[in-house]
């Protein structure tokens, strides 16, 4: 029952702190010419690399449609793209792109701008996460009419799950007739409570800075995982853009709805865009550049008054949300496990492969299939090799 939200046209540009290094126009061929003029065929090499990665990644949907699951993130990646996919979690996207012939200038200008906008990090993020981010920046994604949160609420309604509105504080291990039994402890508006389950899926990050519950009676103990999260600040500002800061003294001439930035030390924001409502009527239009509009600004620190004055001539309101948005990627760390105990599974480790809605959805279905196959002892559906051949044979 979900509908695509209508797209509202708007041009993008990449800002270096002093000038725009790349500007989008209304003409597709002119955009291609500008890319070629500045960067040669780097954009074609990038597109070929991303398409190759995504084509292999899409195999997961065939595997899952046939009920196959994987007990580790490494096995899942290896089934899609061999050891090359596993290695892509250990080397940077910059290194991988330079290896396929993308120029350093293109990496510094375009790739850095996309990653600052999506992950708030540099071109040193792992190649697999970078590929996911770059795939999402190519315009093939879409939004839900009424807001993307309807995906979650719709799925929850469809499952007819019994939702307990409470915060889980701990999980303790027990046994029943030789099988593991998990007691989930929680705190709600009505006080403390607990319940026993045959299977449990943990979806909160288990890094020390984020995990706020304990595991009891597990031997060996379930340890926290190393790693930190990247802070991100989103400021929603209703005001008049200061186009002079971007080199346009006349606000009427400012043509861009989205501004990305290069990795410049003096820049205090990662990206900003003129946002539209979650419900868009047929009569909706973007505000003219000289009019007050709603802008979303991504930064790593809250914007102070001077920074807001730099970006906006004046403003009516500012709403700030500060959150731990994505893993702070470090190519030297290993990937977290999926199986914590016999029937205790961990979902959020998939974020360390790539943090995106699609990746988490794939990981969630993998955990569901893995739990089902392990419960029914259908081991032929777990960690199978040469799956492409098996799936073709089944068809």
pLDDT value at residue 140: 64
Kindly list the distances between the CA atom of residue 85 and the CA atoms of 77, 89, 90, in Å, as whole numbers in the listed order. 6, 7, 9
pLDDT value at residue 139: 64
Kindly tell me the burial class for residue 126, based on how many C-beta atoms sit within 10 Å of its own C-beta (0-12, 13-18, 19 or more). Answer: buried
Asked if 388 contacts 382 with a C-beta cutoff of 8 angstroms, the reply is no
Q: Is a pLDDT exceeding 80 seen at residue 342?
A: yes
Q: What is the mean pLDDT of residues 204-223?
A: 83
Q: Is a pLDDT exceeding 90 seen at residue 226?
A: no
- List pLDDT tens digits, range 123-180: 999 999 999 999 887 766 778 999 989 998 998 899 888 999 999 999 999 988 888 9
Kindly tell me the burial class for residue 49, based on how many C-beta atoms sit within 10 Å of its own C-beta (0-12, 13-18, 19 or more). Answer: buried
What does the angle CA 217 – CA 219 – CA 225 come to, to the nearest 5 degrees? 95
pLDDT value at residue 211: 66
Q: Is a pLDDT exceeding 60 seen at residue 394?
A: yes
CA atoms of 99 and 48, how far apart (whole Å): 13
Q: Is a pLDDT exceeding 60 seen at residue 345?
A: yes
**Which of 89-93, 317-321, 391-395 is predicted least confidently?**
391-395
CA 213 from centroid of its chain's CA atoms: 24
Domain boundaries, the chain: 231-327
- List pLDDT tens digits, range 101-130: 999 999 999 999 999 999 999 999 999 999
- List pLDDT tens digits, range 238-259: 999 999 999 999 999 999 999 9
State the pLDDT confidence band at 329, using cuts at 50, 70 and 90.
confident
CA atoms of 354 and 129, how far apart (whole Å): 4
- List pLDDT tens digits, range 37-52: 999 999 999 999 999 9
CA atoms of 133 and 359, how far apart (whole Å): 11
Kindly list the distances between the CA atom of residue 342 and the CA atoms of 194, 202, 345, 346, in Å, as whole numbers in the listed order. 20, 13, 8, 12
**Which of 45-54, 222-231, 353-362 is predicted least confidently?**
222-231
CA atoms of 301 and 122, how far apart (whole Å): 16
Longest dimension (CA), the chain: 77
- Phi then psi for 32, rounded to 5 degrees? -65, -40
Tell me what percent of the residues of the chain surpass a pLDDT of 90. Answer: 75
Q: Read out DSSP for 223-278?
A: PPPP--EEEEEEEEEEEEE-GGGGT-SSGGG--EEEEEE---TT---SEEEE---S
- List pLDDT tens digits, range 257-294: 999 999 998 899 999 999 999 999 888 889 999 999 99
Q: Is a pLDDT exceeding 90 seen at residue 387?
A: no
Rounded to 10°, the helix 28-39/42-57 angle is: 110
């Amino acid at each position: 029952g979900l509908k695509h939200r209508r797209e509202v046209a708007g041009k993008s540009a990449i800002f270096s702190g002093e000038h725009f290094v790349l500007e989008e126009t209304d003409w597709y061929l002119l955009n291609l010419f500008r890319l070629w003029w500045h960067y040669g065929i780097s954009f074609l090499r990038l597109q070929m690399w991303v398409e190759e990665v995504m084509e292999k990644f899409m195999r997961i949907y065939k595997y899952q449609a046939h009920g196959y699951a994987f007990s580790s993130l490494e096995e899942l990646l290896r089934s899609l793209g061999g050891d090359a996919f596993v290695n892509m979690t250990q080397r940077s996207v910059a290194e991988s792109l330079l290896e396929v012939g993308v120029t350093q200038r293109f990496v510094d200008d375009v790739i850095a701008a996309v990653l600052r906008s999506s992950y708030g990090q540099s071109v040193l993020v792992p190649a697999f996460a970078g590929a996911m981010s770059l795939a999402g920046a190519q315009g093939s994604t879409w939004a839900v009419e009424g807001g993307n949160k309807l995906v979650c609420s719709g799925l929850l309604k469809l499952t007819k799950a019994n939702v307990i509105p409470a915060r889980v504080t701990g999980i303790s291990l027990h046994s029943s007739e030789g099988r593991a039994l998990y007691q989930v402890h929680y705190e709600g508006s009505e006080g403390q409570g607990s319940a026993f389950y045959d299977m449990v899926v943990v979806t909160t990050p288990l890094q020390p800075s984020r995990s706020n519950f304990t595991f009891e009676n597990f031997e060996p103990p379930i340890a926290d995982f190393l790693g930190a999260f990247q802070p991100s600040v989103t400021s929603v500002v209703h005001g008049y853009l200061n186009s002079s800061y971007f080199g346009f003294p006349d606000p009427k001439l400012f043509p861009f709805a989205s501004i990305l930035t290069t990795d410049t030390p003096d820049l205090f924001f990662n990206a900003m865009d003129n946002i539209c409502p979650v419900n868009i009527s047929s009569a909706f239009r973007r505000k003219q550049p000289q009019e007050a509009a709603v802008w979303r600004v991504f930064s790593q620190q809250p914007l102070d008054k001077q920074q807001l004055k730099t970006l906006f001539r004046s403003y009516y309101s500012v709403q700030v949300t500060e959150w731990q948005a994505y893993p702070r990627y470090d190519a030297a760390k290993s990937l977290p496990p999926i199986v914590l105990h016999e029937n205790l599974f961990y979902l959020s480790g998939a974020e360390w492969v790539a943090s995106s809605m699609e990746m988490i959805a794939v990981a969630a279905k993998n955990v569901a299939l893995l739990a089902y196959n392990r419960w029914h002892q259908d081991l032929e559906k777990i960690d199978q090799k040469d799956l492409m051949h098996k799936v073709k044979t089944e068809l």
